[in-house]
Amino acid sequence: MKKLKLIFVLPALAFLACSEDPVSDQIETENEPQTQTKNLNNANTEVAFPDEVGAKTEIYYTGLKLPVESVNGQYVYQGDIIIPKSKATKSPVKLVYEKGETPQNKSVGRTSAYWKDNTVYYDIDGSLPNKDRVYDAISHWEANTNLEFVKRSGQSNYIYFTPGSGCSSYVGMIGGKQNITLASGCTTGSTIHEIGHAVGLWHEQSRVDRDNHIKIHWDNIQTGRDYNFETYASAGYDGEEFTTSLDFNSIMMYSPYSFSKNGEPTITRRDGSLYSVQRSELSNGDIQGANAMYGGSGGGTSPNYVNGEEYTIAGLTVLRYNDKWYYYTRWGWRQVLLKDGTWYWA
Ligand SMILES: [Zn+2]
């Protein structure tokens, strides 16, 4: 068994945006003495349990079939996303109804996903080191989006920033107390990233059209981590008709060296060249996406959704395209309509 350890080296300049990102990460590989410790530039990838690889399993969540890792009693998706066990199912549940049909089992597999009135409640574990990471990340979100973060005073739905073995978060408001874990190596930038998940953002490189923009180098991915790179686009859909470009500058984008086993890139541009990622600030695309979800009116019904982006709305992960909503089924993309909090086939 190979055991991998991510060691974060955090120079004081890590928070500055520049092309020569001073953040350097090292992957130390045990039981493989012939493998040198690699010094990887830009290995900006958040991981919930950096020291453990759990068993791979497949679950259904928000209408998506997700390959997840079962580790420490939790479902982990793409490294740092925690899937709530109570809302995941082993087989598909009905989330889209025929016209005129009466919805049932609304609580199964669903999440309301949105923070009401653009307000995110939070609390911070007293034992969390360097709480300024949280305050700085919150200030950044508030300065750039319509979201407001309010210290919890008895509200039942809230984010709880707490120490953990890595950096992790749930996607969207899942109901009740939801942890964002921050190991001591998780920077302010990683905290901005994890808050991005908590307000409803998925990873940029899992966009359905990502294969138009990037190339995955499967041979360089660590054993047992390859599922982190799958999307439902890999289920056969080529995504060609979606033209909005992938945002390499997104704070939700994996680095080219994510989960590399040999110091070689796992993700490049389609032409094989490297790109740089940043963990300094929300990109313009991130801000556009967040403000589409959380518009001035409180979110959820805003007409400003970005075409080509995925959103989790009323328990379903859907794609915005041509100002309409699409849901990916095994028969391909099908248009869906949202009515009174329930999705129907168009
Ligand atoms: Zn993430």
pLDDT at 337: 93
Instruction: Spell out the alpha helix ranges (H) of the chain.
Output: 132-144, 188-198, 284-293
Q: 118 near 146, Cβ under 8 Å?
A: yes
Query: What percentage of the chain reaches a pLDDT higher than 90?
Result: 42
Between the CA of 317 and the centroid of ligand 1 the distance, in Å, is 17
Q: 40 near 263, Cβ under 8 Å?
A: yes
163: confidence class by pLDDT, cuts 50, 70, 90: very high
166: Cα separation from own chain's centroid? 14
Residue 85 amino acid letter: K
Range in 16-25, 99-108, 162-171 the model is least confident about? 16-25
pLDDT at 268: 95
Mean of the pLDDT values across residues 161-167? Answer: 96
Residue 257 has pLDDT above 80, yes or no: yes
- Which residues, in sequence order, are CB contacts of 200 under 8 Å at separation 6+? 113, 114, 171, 172, 173, 293, 311, 312
Marked catalytic residue, from 194, 281, 309, 310: 194
Mean of the pLDDT values across residues 53-61? Answer: 89
Q: Return the number of other C-beta atoms located less than 10 Å from residue 250's C-beta.
A: 23
140 annotated as belonging to a binding site for a ligand:
no
Q: Encode pLDDT of 273-290 as tens digits.
A: 999 999 999 999 888 888
Angstrom distances, CA of residue 67 to CA of 81, 227, 258, 265, 346 = 12, 6, 17, 22, 28
- Nearest-10 Cα torsion for 140, 310, 267, 61: 100
Q: Is 69 a catalytic residue?
A: no
What sign results for the dihedral spanned by CA atoms 193, 110, 326, 302? negative
Mean of the pLDDT values across residues 231-240? Answer: 50
197 annotated as belonging to a binding site for a ligand:
yes
Between the CA of 202 and the centroid of ligand 1 the distance, in Å, is 7
Average confidence score pLDDT of the chain: 79
Residue 215 has pLDDT above 70, yes or no: yes
CATH 3.40.50.1820 fits 1-346, yes or no: no
Between the CA of 24 and the centroid of ligand 1 the distance, in Å, is 18
pLDDT at 107: 52
Between the CA of 346 and the centroid of ligand 1 the distance, in Å, is 32
pLDDT at 145: 94
Q: Encode pLDDT of 59-112 as tens digits.
A: 988 888 888 999 999 999 999 999 999 888 888 888 888 888 887 655 555 555
Mean of the pLDDT values across residues 187-216? Answer: 88
- Of 342 and 250, which is predicted with more confidence? 250
Distance, in Å, from the CA atom of 303 to the CA atom of 323, rounded to the nearest integer, reads: 8
